[in-house]
């Protein structure tokens, strides 16, 4: 039997107050505000409670907040619509309603694109955190019902995505058929940005030390980076780096952290390679090495099949081999959804 009159009103008010306090407690450590007038000192809890109380009283729709976050990310109403699978007119309507409710302008045109106004940019961190919290609420509800369903969004570099992840993902899917896996291959900066924004749940990569401070390292593995040469090369079975000074090297494009690790290792051994080409990933490097254009250093997982077939040759070095560290990172959060936790556990147990 539903309560009536004053009792119902008091219950609704108590519910709103509790929700407001919980949301403030959840977001307070994660969001830092800077006002339009510059950094301000607020009684933090009181400020957040008032802000959330105002939001609860509003009839704000999550679709409107998602549209604002999408426009901030894409810089275009049309592209934001494509990202959210909505028409541009729907995105425009969401922004108009949100602008009227907040009584502020949210965006302005700049050239051919859009950019957020200062006040909207100031609100954006709270909006993004609120959307992430809503996703966590949905995930927690699914877990409470003991439904092993959901999606895990994974990011990894192109090489790791091509060679290592497919068999692991196939095995995970067979064991957890109710969990959908979404994989995005990209470069380190892009993947870490999407992990921080909540667009990815987990990322496999060779991390800089700063990344392991910002994110949680759930697992890590070491791997070799051997020297490879074409079959039938005149190289001895074991060589010193200095004996390769006249040979052309095919290396990764500069600017990537993996290539930075290779350069450091070469410098540590006082060796300056004669770089003939720099390429984006292992596939063109291997093809050119097979054709006799030079030698290279690549992750061992990219050449296992070629070495077994005799298409490429691993050349042992007299120097200590280059070893790198691959990590599985996730965003810092108190709650980890069950599908993501299952994926992490499976990754820890997998023989990479």
Q: Which residues fall within 8 angstroms of residue 187, CB to CB, at 6 or more apart?
A: 157, 256
Lowest mean pLDDT among 6-20, 105-119, 136-150, 294-308: 6-20
pLDDT of residue 230: 93
Can you give the residue ranges of every domain in the chain?
11-135, 148-222+326-349, 227-320
The pTM assigned to this predicted structure is 0.61
pLDDT of residue 132: 82
Report the b/e string of 207-227 with b at 16+ CB within 10 A: beeebeeebeebbeeebebbb
CATH topology identical between 11-135 and 148-222+326-349: no
pLDDT range class, residue 138, cuts 50, 70, 90? confident
pLDDT range class, residue 275, cuts 50, 70, 90? very high
Of 3.40.190.10, 3.30.1490.20, 3.40.350.10, 3.40.980.10, which CATH number belongs to 227-320? 3.40.190.10
Residue 14 has pLDDT above 70, yes or no: no
How do residues 198-232 score in pLDDT, each as one tens digit?
899 999 999 888 888 889 999 999 999 999 999 98
CATH numeric code, 11-135? 1.10.10.10
Residue 101 has pLDDT above 80, yes or no: yes
Angle at 45 between CA 41 and CA 50, to 5 degrees: 95
How do residues 16-74 score in pLDDT, each as one tens digit?
444 444 444 444 433 333 333 334 444 444 544 555 455 444 456 788 999 999 999 89
Across all residues in the chain, what is the average pLDDT?
Answer: 82
Of 3.40.190.10, 3.40.50.2300, 1.10.10.10, 3.40.640.10, which CATH number belongs to 148-222+326-349? 3.40.190.10
Angstrom distance (rounded) from CA 209 to CA 192:
13
How do residues 143-200 score in pLDDT, each as one tens digit?
655 556 788 999 999 889 988 999 999 999 999 998 999 999 998 889 999 999 889 9
How do residues 104-137 score in pLDDT, each as one tens digit?
999 888 877 888 999 888 888 888 888 887 877 7
pLDDT of residue 22: 43
**Strand residue runs (E) in the chain:** 107-110, 113-116, 150-156, 179-185, 202-205, 216-225, 227-229, 248-252, 274-279, 295-297, 313-315, 322-330
Q: Which of 300, 330, 290, 276 is nearest to 222 (CA)?
A: 300
**Cβ-contact 73, 60 below 8 angstroms:** no
Q: Which residues fall within 8 angstroms of residue 147, CB to CB, at 6 or more apart?
A: 178
Tokens of 3: 């309560």
Angstrom distance (rounded) from CA 139 to CA 134:
9
């Amino acid at each position: 039997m539903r309560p009536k009159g004053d009792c119902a009103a008091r219950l609704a008010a108590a519910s709103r107050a509790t929700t407001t306090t919980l949301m403030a407690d959840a977001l307070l450590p994660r969001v830092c505000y800077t006002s339009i007038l510059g950094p301000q000192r607020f009684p933090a809890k009181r400020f957040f409670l008032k802000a959330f109380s105002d939001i609860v009283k509003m009839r704000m729709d999550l679709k409107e907040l998602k549209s604002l976050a999408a426009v901030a990310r894409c810089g275009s109403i049309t592209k934001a619509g494509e990202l959210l699978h909505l028409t541009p007119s729907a995105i425009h309507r969401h922004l108009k309603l949100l602008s009227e409710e907040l009584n502020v302008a949210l965006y302005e045109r700049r050239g051919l694109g859009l950019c957020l106004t200062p006040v909207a940019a100031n609100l954006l961190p709270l909006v993004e955190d609120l959307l992430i919290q809503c996703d966590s609420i949905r995930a927690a509800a699914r877990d409470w019902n003991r439904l092993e369903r959901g999606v895990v969004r994974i990011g990894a570099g192109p090489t790791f995505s091509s060679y290592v992840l497919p068999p692991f993902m196939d095995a995970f899917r067979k064991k957890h058929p109710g969990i959908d896996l979404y994989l995005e291959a990209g470069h380190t900066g892009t993947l870490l940005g999407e992990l921080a924004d909540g667009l990815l749940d987990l990322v496999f990569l060779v991390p800089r030390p700063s990344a392991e401070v910002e994110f949680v390292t759930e697992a890590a593995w070491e791997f070799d980076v051997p020297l490879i040469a074409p079959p039938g090369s005149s190289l001895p079975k074991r060589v010193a780096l200095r004996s390769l000074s006249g040979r052309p090297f095919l290396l990764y494009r500069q600017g990537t952290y993996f290539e930075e690790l290779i350069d450091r290792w070469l410098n540590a051994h006082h060796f300056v390679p004669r770089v003939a080409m720099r390429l984006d990933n292992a596939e063109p490097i291997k093809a050119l090495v097979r054709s006799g254009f030079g030698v290279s250093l690549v992750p061992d997982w990219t050449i296992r099949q070629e070495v077994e077939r005799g298409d490429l040759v691993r050349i042992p070095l007299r120097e200590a081999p280059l070893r790198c560290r691959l990590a599985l990172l996730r965003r810092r959060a108190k709650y980890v959804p069950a599908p993501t936790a299952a994926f992490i556990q499976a990754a820890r147990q997998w023989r990479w």
